[in-house]
Amino acid sequence: MLPDLRGDFPLLARTVRNGKPLTYLDSGATSQRPYAVLDAMESFEREHFGAVARGAHLLAEEATEAFEAARASVARLVNAASPDEVVWTENATAAINLVANGIGNASAGQGGSESARFRLGEGDSIVVTQAEHHANLIPWQQLAARTGATLRWIELDDDGRLRLDQLATVIDGTTKVVAFTHASNVTGVVTDVSAFVARAREVGALTVLDACQSVPHLPVDVQTLGVDFAAFSGHKMLGPTGVGALWGRKELLDVLPPSVFGGGAIQIVTLEKTTWHPAPTRFEAGTQPVTQAVGMGAAAEYLLGLGMADVAAHERRLAQILREGVSGVPGVRLIGPVGDPGADDVLGLASVVVDGVHPHDVGQVLDDQGIEVRVGHHCAQPLHQRFSVAGSTRASAHVYTTEDDAARFVEALASVREFFGVPA
């Protein structure tokens, strides 16, 4: 188990609303940053800041070295076969769009015969799930509209788990892409990736994994998982905003057509045509978020230092406290598995519906007590529609979350209906 790490995170020492101590339970949206990340970013900007891969002077060399060292750190965190399998992006949304738009460009004829395996058209299908964050749904909706492919989805059962029994019928010989979440940002359920990958391989489909909620909280080994692409973001894994990463198999990245064009990504440019560098450089046109990449690399090292198995164990304990506590509060409904609060396939979060009280009002009551949570549909409207609710209140943990934080949330939640005078 992890020690108390709150001292590593300077923001957590502040007070909020009328001097109350801060209980930060919105890590599923954005995590806080430790000194290790803040110091690495400041040191880079103070001492080594320069243009990456665009100069022969010392600062350019040092900046490039820091940029690539950060890439190597992120590669180690997910056990990539090589740092060249990690592409820097603006965020995870950009990473998923990079793949979707690259497939779209291949479908329009770019990339020649090398990119033929990515081509989509009428009669083909793309498969997503009912659990997806909008970032892993809308790009595929748009790609289907551009190419004439059909969009299909795997549904959720009443416990919020994906219906694996539908894999054999929804994913078929027409399927070219299967895009799915590794862990839901609403239910906290961790997907059985092996089942999706096995079925996709049977029909020759590519797999794209939204790993935003898994990489910060679980041991993630992309080689063992067997997916073709995985996207995740810096700001959910104790790093800065404005940076994310796409991991992809090198042999696929090298032939996927780019969708953002400009300097840095090219080999030869004439007035008539351009040739591209191999991955990852072919996808990193323009000036990169170098300081942010350095911060994401430092976050990866911080997590590696803690040990991801210990991180996962810490958060399983918090999940149990949150879910058991919520299940005992009258008039509060948990979205997701309810039968086993200590289930191993659920992350340290709890999304709830309070009978008779709008999620935004729930959030205000908690905020007045110094407890900061997420309210709304969490960019997952189809999932909420599946459970016939417009939104929910979500408490989500990270490495710095304590058992007292989780207990404080449950205690405050129990006071909400009384506060609004909702009959018991």
Residues forming CATH 3.40.640.10 domain(s) in the chain: 41-304
Q: Which CATH architecture has domain 41-304?
A: 3-Layer(aba) Sandwich (3.40)
Give the pLDDT of residue 156: 98
C-alpha–C-alpha distance, residues 282 and 275, integer Å: 9
The CATH number that domain 6-30+307-415 falls under is 3.90.1150.10
> Which two three-digit tokens encode residue 240?
């800065």
Least confident of 8-22, 260-274, 353-367, 370-384: 260-274
Looking at residues 65-74, what average pLDDT do you find? 98
C-alpha span between 52 and 286 (Å, rounded): 10
Kindly report which listed range (76-90, 98-112, 259-273) carries the lowest average pLDDT score. Answer: 259-273
CATH 3.90.1150.10 positions along the chain are: 6-30+307-415
The pLDDT assigned to 214 comes to: 98
Give mean pLDDT, residues 276-299.
94
**pLDDT confidence of residue 183:** 98
pLDDT the model gives residue 305:
98
The 3 state secondary structure assigned to 203-217 is HCCEEEEECCCCCCC
For the whole prediction, is pTM greater than 0.85? Answer: yes
pLDDT at residue 342, rounded to an integer: 64
| pLDDT over 90 percentage in the chain | 92
d(CA 336, CA 130): 13
- Characterize the bridge pairing of strands 229-233 and 244-248: antiparallel
- The pLDDT of 275-279, averaged and rounded, is 88
Residues across the chain: 424
Q: Would the pLDDT of 276 be above 90?
A: no
**Average pLDDT for 247-252:** 98
341: confidence class by pLDDT, cuts 50, 70, 90: low
- Reply yes or no on whether the pLDDT at 221 is more than 70: yes
Residues recognised as catalytic: 379
- Condensed to tens digits (0 to 9), the pLDDT of residues 173-220 reads 999 999 999 999 999 999 999 999 999 999 999 999 999 999 999 999
Name which of 52-56, 63-67, 387-391, 393-397 the model is least confident about: 52-56
Residue 245 DSSP SS3? strand
68-82, 264-278, 364-378: which range is least confident on average?
264-278
Round to whole Å and give the CA distance between 22 and 11.
9
Residue 252 and residue 230: Cα distance in Å, rounded? 12
CA 206 to mean position of chain CA atoms: 19
**Rounded mean pLDDT of 323-346?**
87
Mean pLDDT of 363-386: 98
Tell me the percentage of the chain whose pLDDT exceeds 70.
99
126-172 confidence digits (pLDDT tens)? 999 999 999 999 999 999 999 999 999 999 999 999 999 999 999 99
The encoded tokens of residue 256 equal 């996927």
Q: Taking all residues of the chain, what is their mean pLDDT, rounded to a whole number?
A: 96
Residue 353 confidence (pLDDT) above 70: yes
